[in-house]
Amino acid sequence: MRRGLVTVTVLAAVTLVACDDGSGADLVVDGTPPDTPYRGSLHIATKSMDEFGPRALRSQSGAAGRALECDGEIYAGDGPDGWSRGDGGATPEEGLKMFFDMFQPEFPREGYRVEHREADRVLYSYDVGRRTKVAVVVAKDQKGRPGWGPETNASCDPAELPASFTDSLETEIWTDKDGGRVPITRITSYAGAEHCDWQRAHFLDLGSGDERRSYVRDPHGVFDAEAVLTAPYDGDVRMPADAHDTGYRYHDRRLWLTDDRSTAYVRTPHGVEAWPRAKDTLGCK
């Protein structure tokens, strides 16, 4: 899943049988349950909405969305889709593995626990600090879909997941002045997509909702600056006197902004770079 400048289509308890995802680590494990395990119904009707945001994600993710314990808002969520007769597994664990095999979600692929079980549904949770950050509900014998398979899924912002997982993602997690991980719905950066030949450019998305802005590091001239950007990229500038340190960090990069936010000034050990704002959303198919 990817939000921002470039859209790329890719986003407790005891279990009886461990299910290996092929990576060498167990997809389902024994372990300590969350401090406040979900005890509501696992059969909650889902509804797709003609909008995007937390309300729509909760509506379409059913019990999985309700089981989350996010520090911020729900980040991703979806309902029944994509599997048919002959795909279902013989056990709930096989139904969970099918979810990963079929949909390839940007979720951790190890360490899930059974958090809640009903006769025909099981809730699997991926927990951080004994709080549910990813939830997947598998169901048995749905209409036209015999066997066990995925029904709903949901996750918190990737910044709430361990660095050991997010370091493997294309999305870069920034930190604040205190070292806390910042939600990617507020700030994130990433390299351009190779299949569009944009890999030599880098993108920074900042803000949320209607205030979301995208900035581009383009030292190799991947884009026509006059057509796409509000100004050319400059890799060596003097920091404006009215710029202020936002406190946002990504490794050795530090983000500074002026009040008009027309340019992202990125301080590195080598100097200051000026990343211009994109005029419009750049779509990559």
Please list the rounded mean pLDDT of every run of 10 residues in the chain (285 residues). 34 32 74 87 90 90 97 93 80 96 94 96 96 97 89 97 95 97 97 92 92 95 91 97 98 97 97 95 70
Residue 173 is given by DSSP the state P
The pLDDT of residue 4 is 36
Domain map of the chain by residue range? 7-156, 170-276
Tokens of residue 5, six digits:
């400048």
In this prediction, residue 13 carries a pLDDT of: 29
pTM: 0.86
C-alpha 56/C-alpha 154 separation (Å) is 12
The confidence score (pLDDT) of residue 50 equals 79
**Cα pseudo-dihedral 49, 53, 59, 62, rounded to 10:** 140
pLDDT of residue 285: 63
Q: Which residues pair with 181 in a beta bridge?
A: 175
- For residues 45 and 80, give the distance between their C-alpha atoms in angstroms, rounded to a whole number: 10
